[in-house]
Amino acid sequence: DTTVKQNPRYKLARVGKPVNLICSQTMNHDTMYWYQKKPNQAPKLLLFYYDKILNREADTFEKFQSSRPNNSFCSLYIGSAGLEYSAMYLCASSRKGTGGFNQDTQYFGPGTRLLVL
Amino acid sequence: GEQVEQRPPHLSVREGDSAVITCTYTDPNSYYFFWYKQEPGASLQLLMKVFSSTEINEGQGFTVLLNKKDKRLSLNLTAAHPGDSAAYFCAVSEDTGNYKYVFGAGTRLKVIA
């Protein structure tokens, strides 16, 4: 089973309010990612967890938080939503490659569509 | 950092015709290349992953070509059918184990019966 699940699928939030998105996988993958995708743009990596270590991209460092309470779950937290946060948020997971292949395939969830009003 | 440009953004072809989507990248250290397909309302699904050492890779009804000299990756759907209608994304990654993909902006393909 290569399923990555995301909840909720749709989220409506008010400007200035917090938002928490959830992702889960049961593949025992060591790495989980969050991407932001806006229409006609490439998915943009926000952050990823390798095991318990959080790595945040420099240009989104202060805008997003995340937690990974166990191997299967990862959340994306926005402390104070702004209009510019309206987007699709994609979660993905992967495991470290083997046999000299460092980069294994990322498996994606269906996304959470966030609309901030 | 790495930049990936994907063309065309929209593509419409007739059933049975070929469809070609191309990505160009900038980082000569890029080593792993991926094509994903996304149908409406669904997840990105992996079509194929290729290594830097392999130039031609064939899948079910499509071919992926990698030209390292020109830093170009292409997806060729050889005889498109309506089920191929979807968004297609390329992604590029280095061989450093940094786990990061850089994506193209996607191509929305429509196959007309």
A→B interface, C-beta within 8 Å? 4, 31, 33, 35, 40-45, 48, 50, 90, 92, 94, 96-97, 101-103, 105-111
Mean pLDDT, residues B75-84 taken together: 93
Dihedral of CA B1/B103/B35/A21: which sign? positive
Residue B6 amino acid letter? Q
Do residues B21 and B87 make contact, with C-beta atoms less than 8 angstroms apart?
A: no
Q: Residue A76 has which token pair? A: 């994306």
pLDDT at B98: 65
pLDDT band at A8 (very low <50, low <70, confident <90, very high): very high
Q: Residue B41 has which token pair? A: 């309302």
B33: β partners: B50, B92
Decide if A110 and B42 are in contact by the 8 Å CB cutoff.
Answer: yes
Decide if B99 and A105 are in contact by the 8 Å CB cutoff.
Answer: no
Average pLDDT score over chain B: 90
